[in-house]
Structure formats: structure tokens, C-alpha cells
Amino acid sequence: MPTHTEQSAVTVLGLGPMGRALVSAFLAAGVRTTVWNRTPGRDKELVEQGAISAASAEEAVSASPLTVVCVVNYDASDAVLRRDAVTDALKGRTVANLSADTPDRARDTARWAQEHGVRYLDGAIMTPVATIGTPHGVFLHSGPADLYEEHRPVLDALGGTHTHLGEDTGRAAAYDVSLLDIFWTAMTGYMHALAIAKAEGISAQELAPFAAGIGAILPAIFEASAAEVDNGTYSGEDNPITSTASTMSHVIHTSESHGIDAGVMRAAEGLVRRVIDEDHGNDGATRIVELLGRR
Ligand code: NDP
């Protein structure tokens, strides 16, 4: 952890739960932190912790060489950054946009920044609020490497792991959406599993330890599947996709026997059936990646 002096300064725009957590972490690390939020009044506790409250976004960005943006999405960050007074105040300064959105929106914002003399880094936060300022936070960054290195001491004040993924500004968002794909399909699967379990008289807390067991086997499967996908092997030796189709159908039938919508699993089973219909029934589920990747 670098030593922060009074010369370290950052502005944070957006004081939702994540923005507030970022501000607290910067303050705890001794970084002079100026804050602004669209709806006034959200900075009260932060000011008590030592944050400087700005009356406007333009006043806020003028206070620091680096502005971290953490709002709901890029419609929101555009609404803040692309106002003339704010854009003018940002000329020659750096924005690190840690709001979540798509790779295309990140690249579009980088183009806008270049046209307006704003130095731009994009990023994504992969872990919940409680991890910020602890070793458990995970931050992804993309954009010019020299700009990232320049601001790294301040960004590192947020704690956790910071990874610069490359010069393509959209790369952090590309990792973010890929990882959110895993998270939200898994969480939707878990919610659906709890609904089936409940219909079968099993409480959520009774199932939870076994659900955690399923979670624990995933990392090794992720690694092995990634190697298969990169090598194009799609081996079904231990678990052919015909067997996957069978177990998926058990979920669908049990779900629908209780009148529970099985749409998510039906979508997954549909992909598996397409692989089997294409004569790849002896392959593993990784063959789905090849199917989906065809354009
Ligand atoms: P939200 O995603 O709900 O974002 C709230 C913030 O967005 C508030 O500051 C809000 O301002 C601002 N906002 C919304 N619309 C506008 C607008 N049109 N103009 C200006 N500001 C606007 O809460 P979080 O703080 O939790 O999330 C911020 C970002 O961090 C999101 O992109 C989220 O995906 C990401 N993130 C959050 C995590 C979490 O655990 N919370 C985890 C990882 C990433 P106002 O108060 O005025 O409404």
C-alpha cells in the first residue's frame, strides 16, 4: 500500500452505495476526496469523515487531477460528464469511469473524451460494497497503460486487486459483462432451485449448505472447461451432453409439475438439444460455446 500524502487528491461523482464505499476507502487511505452527487444531501456522513462537498459537478472535477465516476450506467455518466461546464472543467484532467455498462458504451465514451481533451480510463468493480477498502475488492481497468500507471497510486488506495487489462477501453466492460453473465444466470438458477425445493418441502436454509457444495466444485470445472474451449476439444468423456440433457429434463419436469416456470432451464436445455441434433451428443457441454460462437 503506497503512502498517501496531502498531494493525493481525487474527486468522486456518484454517491450511491458503491460511490460512498469508494469515498470512505479513499479517505481511510489519506487521499483528499471531493464529492458530488446528482441528488444533494447524500454526502453528509462522508463530509463528517473528511470529504469535501462540492456544490456542482464542475466544481468537483476542478478540485482533483483524477475524477472517479460511479453512477448507475453510462446514460447517467453521460448526463453528468457531457454537460459543457463539466466537459470544460475536465480538459487535461483524467476520468476513471467505474460505472458498469457495455464495452461499446465504454469505447464511445473514450472517443468522446479524446475529442474533448479529457484523459480517459474505463473500469469495472467486480465485488460488493463490503469489499471496498479491504484486500477482497476486485477492480478491472482498461485504457492507456501510461495513464493507468500515473493514477495507480490513488486507485490502489481502494485496496484489493487492480488489474489493467489492456489499451482497448472496452476490455474492462467486456470482462464485466462476461462475468455478470455467470453471476446472474447462476443466481437465477439458485432462485429457481429454491422455488423447486420449497415446493418439495425443503427450506432454503436446508438446501443452502448443499448449494454451497455445488458452488465449490465450479472453480475446477471452470478451469478445465476454459482449456477445452481454447483448445477446441469439447470432450464429453466423463459427462456426455446427452447425459446433461437428461438431468436438465428432470429439473424441467419437477418444476412444471409444481406449476413453476421452467423457462430458464428450458432455454439451457434448448442449447443442449441443438448440440445433440448436430450429432455432437458424445461431446461435453463446452460444445455450446462453439454453437453460440457461430455467426
Ligand atoms: P446504483 O447503481 O443504484 O447507482 C446510484 C448512483 O447513480 C447514484 O449516485 C445516483 O444518483 C446516480 N445516478 C443515477 N442516474 C443518474 C443520472 N441520470 N444522472 C446522474 N446520476 C445518476 O448504485 P451503486 O452505487 O451501488 O452502483 C454504482 C455502480 O457501481 C453501478 O454501475 C453498479 O453496477 C456498480 N457496482 C455496484 C456494486 C454494488 O455492490 N452496489 C458492485 C459492483 C459494481 P442519485 O443519488 O441522484 O439518484
Residue 155 domain flag: yes
Pocket, ligand 1, Cβ cutoff 6 A:
14-19, 37-39, 42, 70-73, 76, 79-80, 99-100, 125, 128-129
Residue among 36, 71, 126, 176 to mutate when testing ligand 1 (max atoms within 8 A of CB): 71
Q: What is the pTM of this model?
A: 0.93
Confidence class for position 7, pLDDT limits 50, 70, 90: low
Residue 106 domain flag: yes
Residue 3 domain flag: no
Q: How far is the CA of 71 from the centre of ligand 1 (A)?
A: 4
Number of separate domains in the chain: 2
Beta bridge partners of 140: 124, 163
User: Nearest C-alpha to atom 1 of ligand 1 is from which residue?
Assistant: 72
Taking the C-alpha atoms of residue 227 and residue 121, their distance in angstroms, rounded to an integer, is 31
Residue 4 domain flag: no
Q: How far is the CA of 18 from the centre of ligand 1 (A)?
A: 7
**Tens digit of pLDDT for each residue in 207-260?**
999 999 999 999 999 999 999 999 999 999 889 999 999 999 999 999 999 999
The count of C-alpha atoms lying within 13 angstroms of the C-alpha of 286, restricted to the half-sphere facing its C-beta, is 21
Taking the C-alpha atoms of residue 80 and residue 71, their distance in angstroms, rounded to an integer, is 9
CB atoms within 10 A of CB 147: 18
List the CATH number of the domain containing 142: 3.40.50.720
Ligand 1 atom at minimum distance from 19 CA: 25
In angstroms, how far is the first alpha carbon of the chain from the final one? 46
Domain with 207 in it: 203-292
State whether the Cα torsion 176-181-185-188 is positive or negative.
Answer: positive
The closest of 178, 286, 292 to 232, measured between CA atoms, is 286
**Tens digit of pLDDT for each residue in 80-128?**
999 999 999 999 999 999 999 999 999 999 999 999 999 999 999 999 9
The DSSP symbol for 239 reads: S
